[in-house]
Amino acid sequence: MTVSSSTLAPAPARDGEDPARMRRRPFPRPGNSSIAIGATILGTITLIALAAPWLGLADPYDSNLAIRHVPPVWDSVGSWQHPLGTDHLGRDYLSRLVYGARISLLVGMVVTVMAGCIGTTLGVLAGYFGGRIEAAIDFVITVRLAMPLVLIALAVVNVVGSSLEIVILVLGLLLWERFAVVARSTTQQIRSQEYVAAARAVGCSTPRIILLEILPNIYGPLIVVATLEIAHAILLEAALSFLGLGVPAPLPSWGLMIAEGKDVMYFSPWVITIPGAALFVLILSINLLGDGLRDLNAIEGRN
């Protein structure tokens, strides 16, 4: 697959194509605009989440059974007092939504950092040393891929007891395989480069070579993996919470909010559409950012 992309680079190959195709050839790479859009949305969500305590919102845990299931402001009976309405315990939905963003972002970040450390370490070791170490690590990766992720996570969370920390820990220990695969293949590609050989010839120690020569040169693709894994972790946390074995109530996890609204979704669909749409927009922005970064990396890689 990678072989053919380098063979199509020479100019003569392009002369044979019809002019209409030629004109279209440098078709707009979505790279930069998708980074801009993704980063803007993600940045806005992050800022709002960070500033949540100072936004003058209602207490996300303050329930009032007298005002259950108040519809959002765009509904005829809605009011600005609760712009997005209230949930089944009369808690302010907007406030829960904003505080829920904190949970999603926290899960995404911490899980990705944990998984990134595990996966990158394994991948770099496999790619750098090759041979038996690589075979062993390959086996570990295959085992991890074969494990039914959701079921294992559910089972562990159920026995240990659900809490935000446990969910983060379990996902962090499970979501490293893409980092490992990418770190391994990129390390393999650069392990025989001159600068690595030079470092070895000067007598640099192996840890030094890995930390100072290998890692700085593979972090581009790893950043791309990291953005996509943040999205993956956020989606999984939401799914686990939705199934009732993730972040426990009364924490305002978006997945949990959807689960809590499920019973009344026929009568007041906004109870599930609002947190679901928030989740969708957050994941979309992260994916846009990741896709854009990947395109940038691909362009750099070609030179």
Which positions lie near another protein, rule CB under 8 A? 1, 4-5, 7-8, 13, 16, 24, 27-28, 30, 139, 142-143, 145-152, 154-156, 158-161, 231, 235, 238-239, 242-245, 255, 258, 262, 265-266, 269, 272-273, 276, 279-281, 283-284, 287-288, 291
- Closer of 179 and 254 to another protein (Cβ): 254
- Closer of 30 and 301 to another protein (Cβ): 30
- Closer of 80 and 267 to another protein (Cβ): 267
DSSP H or E stretch at residue 94: helix 93-129
- Closer of 160 and 212 to another protein (Cβ): 160
CA-to-CA distance for 283 and 218, rounded, in angstroms? Answer: 25
DSSP H or E stretch at residue 117: helix 93-129
CB of 168 to another protein, least distance (A): 15
- Closer of 178 and 213 to another protein (Cβ): 178
Nearest Cα neighbor of 97 from 289, 286, 270, 284 is 270
CB of 10 to another protein, least distance (A): 11
CA-to-CA distance for 237 and 164, rounded, in angstroms? Answer: 9
- Closer of 4 and 303 to another protein (Cβ): 4
Cβ atoms of 101 and 161 within 8 Å: the answer is: no
CB of 218 to another protein, least distance (A): 22
CA-to-CA distance for 157 and 143, rounded, in angstroms? Answer: 20
Question: What's the sign of the alpha-carbon dihedral 62, 65, 68, 74?
Answer: negative
CB of 242 to another protein, least distance (A): 5
CB of 180 to another protein, least distance (A): 15
DSSP H or E stretch at residue 176: none
3-class DSSP state for residue 181?
Answer: helix
The residue with tokens 């009032």 is: 64
3-class DSSP state for residue 22?
Answer: helix
Nearest Cα neighbor of 44 from 101, 125, 113, 87 is 101
- Closer of 51 and 150 to another protein (Cβ): 150
Cβ atoms of 213 and 154 within 8 Å: the answer is: no
CB of 184 to another protein, least distance (A): 14
Q: How many helices (H) and strands (E) does the chain have?
A: 14, 0
CB of 250 to another protein, least distance (A): 20
- Closer of 15 and 300 to another protein (Cβ): 15
CB of 273 to another protein, least distance (A): 8
